[in-house]
Amino acid sequence: MRAVFFKGKDQPLVIQQIKKFKPVKDQVLIRLHNAALNHRDLWTWREQTLPGSEGIILGSDGSGIIEDVGEEADTLLIGSEVIINPSLDWGSNSVVQGNTFRILGFPDNGTFSDYIVISKKYVFEKPEHLNFAESAAVPLSGLTAYRALFSKARLRSKEKVLITGVGGGAALWVLQFAVAYHGRVYVTSGSDEKLIKAKALGAIAGFNYKDTEWQQKAVKESGGGFDIIIDSAGGDQFSKLIELALPGGRIVNFGRTAGNITNISTRLLYWKQLSIHGTTMGTRDEFLSMLDFVENRKIKPVVDQIFPLEKIEDAVKRMEQGDQFGKIILQIS
């Protein structure tokens, strides 16, 4: 079987032939059809160091068919079309993950591979209305977006929601969930073309964050500001989000694409009685609720481009350049 190995910070990703995995105990062996990229794969490649030289198989998202099972898993599972919940060992507290929490794909071997073995507790039926490529786009970013919007920001219909950097995989899920829940959605992007695409998906208006006057335009278009702001960029522009939040507003951040936040106005924070939430991934219950939401409303993820597994470096480069609108998918079989 083929697998994409991360061998160390900034070293080329290597596709290697390795011995096919064998499931043990409650594990299932999944023949992967598709995997999806997340910014996390890029962070891992660019930032992480490895303890040994063997390498780690990257990838948090995958879809495929169960081909074999360990002795504690039912053989009836064989042949099931499935997706994987990459939120491993969350722990018992829904508020925050426990000490053993991990995200599939580092340090555990992930989905950029012909096969994966994983405990059956992380495996769920593929949504019926989605093909394998679309299904691979669901788990990590869908889960993160769901927890951010519903568990943390507690969206109510008709509320005004601003989503930053809408071209990203996770941000687009927030857009689709918020539109489906009848939020009034506004977006930012560094690309006018992506703003047009976001409007086609239901955004009321969009603002280019490279335009020095985008904040004033956002105040005007939204009639004063936003109840909820979902941000995955951080960085210096975060201070603008504090200004754009309505009194009593909720801001949720789950990413650092634009770096650390160094310049928050403390006075605005307390005077407007704002709530700022950090969030990461989500619980098993949230994963199930997210799947229900996607299935009941027949939501289809936005797929940017599909690359064959061998073209992994081209796929990662597309993400690094920020050219994508939606999920970048790998075709495995």
Instruction: Return the ∠ at Cα 117 (arms to 38 and 17), rounded to 5°.
Output: 80
Q: How far is the CB of 198 from ligand NAP (least distance, A)?
A: 8
Q: Are strands 303-308 and 327-331 parallel, antiparallel or unpaired?
A: parallel
Distance CA 29, CA 42 (A): 26
DSSP label of 134: H
**DSSP string computed for 65-97:** EEEEE-TTS-GGGTT-EEEE--EE---S-SSS-
How many CB atoms neighbour CB 211 within 10 A? 13
Q: In this complex, which beta carbon is closest to ligand NAP, that of residue 164 or of residue 222? A: 164
Contacts of residue 68, Cβ cutoff 8 Å, sequence gap at least 6: 22, 23, 28, 29, 78
Q: Does 209 bind ligand NAP (CB under 6 A)?
A: yes
State which of residues 55, 105, 139, 255 lies at the interface with ligand NAP (CB under 6 A).
255
Residues in 219-248 at the binding interface with ligand NAP, rule: CB under 6 A: 232-233, 235, 237
Q: Does 167 bind ligand NAP (CB under 6 A)?
A: yes
State the binding string over 266-305 for ligand NAP (x if CB under 6 A, else -): --------------xx------------------------
State the binding string over 10-49 for ligand NAP (x if CB under 6 A, else -): ----------------------------xxx--x------
Residues in 50-109 at the binding interface with ligand NAP, rule: CB under 6 A: none
State the binding string over 129-158 for ligand NAP (x if CB under 6 A, else -): -----------xx--x--------------
For residue 252, the cross-strand partners are: 230, 277
The tokens for 239 are 């201070």
Residues that bind ligand NAP (CB under 6 A): 38-40, 43, 140-141, 144, 164-171, 188-191, 194, 209, 232-233, 235, 237, 254-258, 280-281, 319, 322, 324
